[in-house]
Structure 1
Amino acid sequence: MKKLILITLIISYLFISCSSSNTDNNKTSSSNNKEILVLAAASLTDVLTELANNYKTETGTIVTFSFASSGALQSQIESGAPADIFFSAAQKQMDALQQKDLIDTNTRKDLLENKVVLIAPSNSKLNIKSFTDITNSDVSKVGLGEPKSVPVGQYSEEILSNLSILDTIKQKSVYGSDVRNVLSWVEIGEVDCGIVYATDAKIAKNINIIAEAPEGTHKKVIYPIAVIKSSQNKEEALKFIDYISSDKSIETFKAYGFTVIQ
């Protein structure tokens, strides 16, 4: 009987020890999980979400995002919002932050290039075949990004100005808070046409790509990325930038329609 009791006590001790060890290991594993916050242009939503999921699987680091227009994100950073990385859809917003010494200039680099396209609902009966056709009287609503804060809106106005049709189009323009806002309007037929990035058009439903912006009508659509100077996770932020700059990630960007700057 005494031997049986002793054996039982030993087994119980070993079980408790193992359980305690596993709990400690789980706590250690959980505490090792790192997290970074990336402020990124809305047009990067799908591709960055995929890359972040892959990164978490490979490294355990959690990457969270705030997707919006680059201008809105710039304002957040200027207001002191905590974040680690800024990934803009234009140089203008990154330049403004650099001038205010709010980004780590040593980490800044141009990573991607995009194109600007005119799109219309797939069931449209309007005879829109080019950018100049949106001046036609039967086109009553044109979806554009708000030019003060949305880079695609800034590119759009530049294109329309160089085509000498900006004043005409302003009278029928509906302005979205970011490029995905404009895209959704075209998808559901809320506007007759809209100007978005080629990568957004690529993933959209129920739309037709009418034309790419004529060459020379706007600045190149370059996406710069940099670590925010106030980041508390600069080492982890740099690791993520290195990851999305790798050959494997480059292929993912290309699959979504981006041109990678190397």
Structure 2
Amino acid sequence: MNTHIKIILFTLLVLGTGITACKPKKSAEETEKRILVFAAASLTDVLSELIDSFGVSTGYTVQTNMASSGTLARQIEQGGTPDIYISASKRWVDYVDSLGFIVAPYKTNIAFNELVFIAPKESILTDVTIDKTLDLNKLIGSGRLAMGDPGHVPAGKYGRQALGYYGWDTQINEKVLPAKDVRSALMVVELGEAPLGIVYKTDALKSDKVKIIGSFPEESHKPIVYVAGICNESDASKAFYSYLTSKETAAIWAKYGFKK
């Protein structure tokens, strides 16, 4: 190897070392101020505003992993390590708790939602009264009913309960189009790929491509409650948990159609 090549290689080595040395390392304080939240997909919009508001007042950084509550529970079971888990189903958060991943006593209800029928904005379907006299099979026609997969999506489970309450589950079972989460069910109706869907009221309100044509009575399904639990106890996680449950967030929840 000649001298010229040696000089070039040495220069590249020095530059590479310098670049590596100049990469900023996160301080322990920065790491402590980061919070990872696993949350139900239906909370995407309201949680985004809550995080912004929380960050401005505290300086904490909150990162999210949004999916169906069941999917998130399985991720935690298989090694996922959130600081806080927010489920749209008490059943799933209780399951995570039973595995020892929720830190006592940090588990509480933080908000409530409603279940509604939606149709594409331009649909000829109009407002309906949801009771036993409604002919749901006729309402769907030759199309499909979009809803979260009852196997792991809370919105789908509530939907299945409501269908069963009115005796519709067996009538329209083959017409159900299961989606991976409630947002996906909403999108199917937005795209006109299904004439009817069952989603949370909060998701329907955020879309200008669908319309609500009926609201399910509370007695037709179990209460749609969002439950938060701390999985990793720290000053940061406790601060965000307290913020979520505080009265000062009530206006933000209400803005997106949730009830406290």
For residue 5 of structure 2, what is the aligned residue in structure 1? none
Q: Name the counterpart of 2:69.
A: 70
Q: For 1:150, give the aligned amino acid.
A: V
User: Contact between 1:143 and 1:182, CA under 8 Å: does it hold in 2?
Assistant: yes
Length-normalised TM-score, structure 2: 0.83
Residues 1:258 and 2:255 are matched in the alignment = no
Partners of 2:54 and 2:98 in 1: CA distance: 31
Deviates more, 1:212-221 or 1:64-73: 212-221
Q: CA RMSD in A?
A: 1.9
Cα distance in 2 for partners of 1:246, 1:142 equals 37
Q: Which amino acid aligns with 2:101?
A: L
Shift of 1:110: 0.8
- One-letter code of the match for 2:116? V
Gaps in structure 1 of 5+ consecutive residues: 1-26
Q: SS of the counterpart of 2:253? A: helix
On the 8 A contact 1:127/1:133 being kept in 2, the answer is: no
Alpha-carbon separation, structure 2, partners of 1:113 and 1:182: 20
Matches of 1:174 and 1:105, distance apart in 2: 38
Q: Which amino acid aligns with 1:113?
A: F
Give 2:215's match in structure 1, choosing from 202, 212, 215. Answer: 212
**Which of 152, 171, 175 pairs up with 2:174?**
171
Shift of 1:246: 2.4
Please give the per-residue CA displacement for 1:6-39, whole angstroms capped at 9, x wherever unaligned. xxxxxxxxxxxxxxxxxxxxx8996533101000
SS at match of 2:218: coil
Q: Which moved more, 1:121-130 or 1:140-149?
A: 121-130
SS for the counterpart of 1:106 is coil
Q: Deviations over 1:34-78 (max 9, x none)?
A: 101000001100011111112222222110000100000000111
Partner residue, 2:246 = 246
Letter in 1 for 2:200: Y
1:189 maps to 2:164: no
Post-superposition offset of 1:128: 6.8
CA 1:190–1:109 in structure 2 vs 1: closer, same or farther (change >3 Å)?
A: same
Q: Which residue in the other structure is 1:32 paired with?
A: 29
Q: 1:135 to 1:128 in 2, by over 3 A?
A: farther
Amino acid at match of 1:143: A
| Partner Cα separation in structure 2 for residue 218 and residue 208 of structure 1 | 21
1:202 to 191, 201, 205: 205
> How far apart in 2 are the matches of 1:130 and 1:145?
22
**How far does residue 255 in structure 1 lie from its aligned partner after superposition?**
1.1
* Aligned-partner Cα distance in 1 for 2:102–2:28: 28
For this pair of structures, how many residues does the alignment match? 231
Q: For residue 172 of structure 1, what is the amino acid of its counterpart?
A: K
5+ long unaligned stretches in structure 2: 1-23
Identify if the C-alpha distance between structure 1 residues 205 and 80 changes in structure 2 by more than 3 Å, giving closer, same or farther. Answer: same
